[in-house]
Amino acid sequence: MSALPRKSDLAPHWALDPDTVFLNHGSFGATPTAVLELQGDLRAQMEADPVRFLDDVSKELWANSLEVLSRFLNADPAGMAFVTNTTGGVNTVLRSLEFSGGDEILVPDHSYQACWNAVDFVTGRAGAKTVVVPIPFPVESDDEVVEAVLSHVTERTRLAMIDTVTSPTGLRMPFERLVEELQSRGVDVLLDAAHGPGIVPLDLGRLQPAYCTGNLHKWICTPKGSAFLHVRSDRMERIRPLTISHGASVPGSVEESFRLEFDWQGTSDPSPWLCIPKSLEYVGGLVDGGWPAIMEQNRSLALAAREILSEALGTPPPCPDSMLAALGTVLMPEGGPVATSVFDGDLLHTSLLDDYGIQVPVFNWSHHGRRYLRVSAHLYNHIDEYHYLADALRDSA
Ligand SMILES: Cc1ncc(COP(=O)(O)O)c(C=O)c1O
């Protein structure tokens, strides 16, 4: 194998290990040094006078973060709240809603397992039903996905959890169409936008999903632990944070209660959320054209990467180019080992890391009985890194 491949000219903005070929932005994101420095400053201010910072200084910064993020997503700031991660956002919605025996919640079979588990938890305790929608993979078109989901709607369907981009399969879902079609049939959508801001254009004002939760710590590159939950105004009264705190005893309108309850959930370090404006501006400023250009550039790189890897593995691209964002998934050849638990590591993943220094996920997706290899593309990546991975895959075959 040749020497380690180069990273892009923008890679020095990140603190990533120069000896690791980092092709897994999708799992936990990665944060530029300048943003980490801001987080360090905020923490220093907090520790200089924790009371002044948490009771006073941080409040204005927090309100600004909510405002800036709402503008970025064209969302109603009144319905915008911060949560630690998308798993928490999904749980907040599901565990606030009341379901009855016989109610149905739709979950496509590409959904993130942790969120799917949360659906199973609430349906299980209510005697309701999780209706799993098989989405073919390989898939040929958006229509195939929309038809599969809609064909599972019944008069008992109360909610559908729909991804913007799926985790194990990197599929850019036709979520705009799905939100419209489902909600026009009276089915509320919980949009899982873990891979949302910064990877696909997201206009919540136009889409009007009942609920949307997503991460900033993935594609916006904020420090870990910054995510949002947006609740449409007519659903605000139903949704309470997972942690009931001071706000619950303060009288006020629905909007005021939502604000008070979500903005204080006990003592914690608010710095990840306070870095949102900086990350949006800093990362957005690294490419002419800002975020729309970044999304397009990353998507083009993921498309090129997928082609290189499909050829190396001899498997067909599992979805049309139009259904791909900055995550490129390729099918592993059939017949490999399929683990049943997300906690079982994949042997190929381990050997690519140990023997070649490549960090790339290999998913054993037991719902499909197949293994998928998924590459991410962000500004620090270079096409040579995917060629290097392709060589390693050939080498280790
Ligand atoms: C589609 C999807 N939903 C939810 C999550 C959970 O995100 P978090 O770990 O930040 O809660 C992920 C994480 O990768 C994901 O890909």
* Two structure tokens written together for 288: 């002419």
**202-256 pLDDT tens trace:** 999 999 999 999 999 999 999 999 999 999 999 999 999 999 999 999 999 999 9
The verdict on the CB of residue 82 being under 6 Å from ligand 1 is no
Ligand 1 centre distance from Cα of residue 215 (Å) = 8
Tell whether 233 and 323 lie within a shared domain.
no
Nearest CA to ligand 1 atom 7: 86
Tell whether 3 is covered by a domain: no
Distances (CA, A) of 361 to 85, 286, 348, 385: 20, 27, 9, 15
Whether the CB of 216 sits within 6 Å of ligand 1: no
The residue type found at 351 is: S
Cβ of 195 below 6 Å from ligand 1: yes
- The number of domains in the chain is 2
Helix boundaries (H) for 73-171: 86-96, 113-126, 142-150
Atom of ligand 1 nearest to the CA of 87: 11
Q: Judge contact between 306 and 70, C-beta under 8 A.
A: no
Per-residue pLDDT at 340: 61
**CATH code of residue 324:** 3.90.1150.10
Does residue 85's CB lie within 6 angstroms of at least one atom of ligand 1?
yes
**Whether the bond into 108 is cis, omega within 30 of 0:** no
Per the domain annotation, does 32 fall within a domain? no
C-beta 226 within 6 A of ligand 1: no
Ligand 1 atom with minimal separation from the 86 CA:
11
Q: Tell me what pLDDT residue 334 has.
A: 80
The encoded tokens of residue 144 equal: 């195939």
Q: Which of 391, 396, 394, 383 is nearest to 328 (CA)?
A: 383
DSSP H helices in 49-85: 50-52, 58-72
Domain boundary among 280, 305, 338: 280
* Cβ–Cβ under 8 Å, residues 128 and 104: yes
Helix (H), strand (E) at residue 43 = helix 33-48
The answer to whether residue 152 is domain-embedded is yes
What CATH number should be reported for the domain holding residue 124? 3.40.640.10
At residue 337, the pLDDT reads 62
379 is written with which tokens? Answer: 């500004």
Token couple for 85: 């991660």
Q: Which of 222, 249, 280 finishes a domain?
A: 280
pLDDT at 24: 98
Crossing angle (nearest 10°) for helices 175-184 and 142-150: 30
pLDDT given at position 237: 98
Residues 339, 365, single domain; the answer is yes
User: What pLDDT does 300 receive?
Assistant: 98
The pLDDT assigned to 258 comes to 98
Q: Are residues 123 and 262 in the same domain?
A: yes
Identify the residue whose C-alpha is closest to ligand 1 atom 10. Answer: 85
pLDDT by residue for the chain (397 residues), tens only, comes to: 779 999 999 999 999 999 999 999 999 999 999 999 999 999 999 999 999 999 999 999 999 999 999 999 999 999 999 999 999 999 999 999 999 999 999 999 999 999 999 999 999 999 999 999 999 999 999 999 999 999 999 999 999 999 999 999 999 999 999 999 999 999 999 999 999 999 999 999 999 999 999 999 999 999 999 999 999 999 999 999 999 999 999 999 999 999 999 999 999 999 999 999 999 999 999 999 999 999 999 999 999 999 999 999 999 999 999 999 999 999 999 876 666 666 767 889 999 999 999 999 999 998 998 999 999 999 999 999 999 999 999 998 8
Same domain, 236 and 314: no
**What integer pLDDT is reported at residue 284 of this predicted model?**
98
Q: Which domain holds residue 155?
A: 37-280
Last residue within a domain, chosen from 280, 299, 327: 280
Ligand 1 centroid, distance to 87 Cα (angstroms): 6
C-beta of 84 in contact with ligand 1 (< 6 A): no
- CA 204, 210, 214, 216 torsion-angle sign: positive
The answer as to whether 5 is a domain residue is no
Q: Which atom of ligand 1 is nearest to the CA of 88?
A: 11
Nearest CA to ligand 1 atom 12: 194
Q: Does residue 163 line the site of ligand 1, with CB under 6 A?
A: yes
pLDDT digits (tens, 9 = 90+) for 73-87: 999 999 999 999 999
